[in-house]
């Protein structure tokens, strides 16, 4: 299996949204929400984007408080966190105004039950206008709609959808070291359009090809391998 990043339709829509966020005109809000069910590549896509920029990545935790969040942001901005929450907030906003950087908050679902943490992020945006991108699970949008003043600041909302047949074909072409015909791609899509499911089938396809000296894998090959397990 080739270790490469694949530009699925979700990735394309994400990249377009981030480009619009960076180039937004005056008066256009600068916050965004990226959400969807597990296994669709949200975090991998964010990390791919981060590798090309100097954005800040924070992974929320179940026990995270506002002070803890500010400490992590300040540390990611390159300074040692200092003082109580008010001083941390000033430190954070000063750093962002001196050197604007997009902030990604992954696993934001952990924070949606704590209004003080959510509103702290809104306060950071209001004071600095630095883009802030929330990344969450399938119910994240519904959870964040409760914070009307925050939700109104989302100029971009990207929902990661299940992979299409074309996405499966793209993933197979980029990652699999053996060719799959269209019926094999259709079979993989039918079995579950999540990344882990797709890669399991691609590993199986490579194993079948090596074992039987095949140059192309068909639906029948994959179905037979599944039945034999």
Is the entire prediction scored with pTM above 0.85?
A: yes
- How does pLDDT run across 44-99, given as a tens digit for each residue? 999 999 999 999 999 999 999 999 999 999 999 999 998 889 999 999 999 999 99
Residue-range definition of the domain harbouring residue 128:
9-160
- State residue 194's pLDDT score: 87
Could you tell me the CATH number of the domain that includes residue 219?
1.10.8
Please check whether residue 3 lies inside any domain of the structure: no
- How does pLDDT run across 191-215, given as a tens digit for each residue? 987 899 999 999 999 999 999 999 9
The CA-to-CA distance between both ends of the chain, in Å, stands at 21
- Same domain, residue pair 143 and 69: yes
Domain boundary among 160, 189, 209: 160
- State residue 228's pLDDT score: 75
Find out whether 134 and 111 touch, Cβ atoms under 8 Å. no
Residue 179: DSSP 8-state: E
Q: Indicate if the alpha-carbon torsion angle 54, 119, 44, 64 is positive or negative.
A: positive
What is the DSSP pairing of strand 154-160 with strand 103-106? unpaired
- State residue 229's pLDDT score: 64
């Amino acid at each position: 299996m080739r270790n490469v990043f694949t530009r699925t339709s979700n990735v394309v829509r994400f990249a377009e949204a981030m480009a619009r966020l960076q180039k937004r005109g005056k008066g256009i809000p600068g916050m965004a929400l990226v959400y969807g069910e597990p296994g669709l590549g949200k975090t991998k896509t964010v990390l791919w984007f981060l590798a090309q920029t100097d954005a800040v990545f924070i992974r929320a935790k179940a026990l995270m408080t506002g002070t803890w969040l500010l400490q992590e942001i300040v540390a990611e901005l390159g300074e040692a966190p200092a003082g109580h929450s008010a001083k941390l907030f000033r430190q954070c906003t000063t750093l962002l105004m001196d050197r604007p950087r997009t902030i990604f908050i992954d696993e934001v679902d952990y924070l949606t039950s704590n209004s003080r943490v959510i509103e702290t992020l809104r306060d950071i945006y209001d004071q600095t206008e630095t883009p802030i991108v929330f990344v969450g699970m399938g119910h994240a949008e519904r959870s964040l709609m409760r914070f009307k003043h925050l939700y109104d600041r989302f100029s971009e909302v990207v929902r990661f959808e299940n992979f299409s047949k074309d996405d499966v074909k793209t993933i197979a072409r980029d990652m699999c070291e053996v060719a799959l015909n269209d019926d094999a791609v259709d079979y993989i899509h039918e079995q579950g359009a999540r990344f882990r499911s797709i890669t399991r089938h691609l590993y199986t396809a490579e194993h079948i090809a090596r074992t039987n000296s095949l140059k192309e894998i068909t639906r029948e090959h994959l179905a037979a391998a599944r039945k034999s397990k």
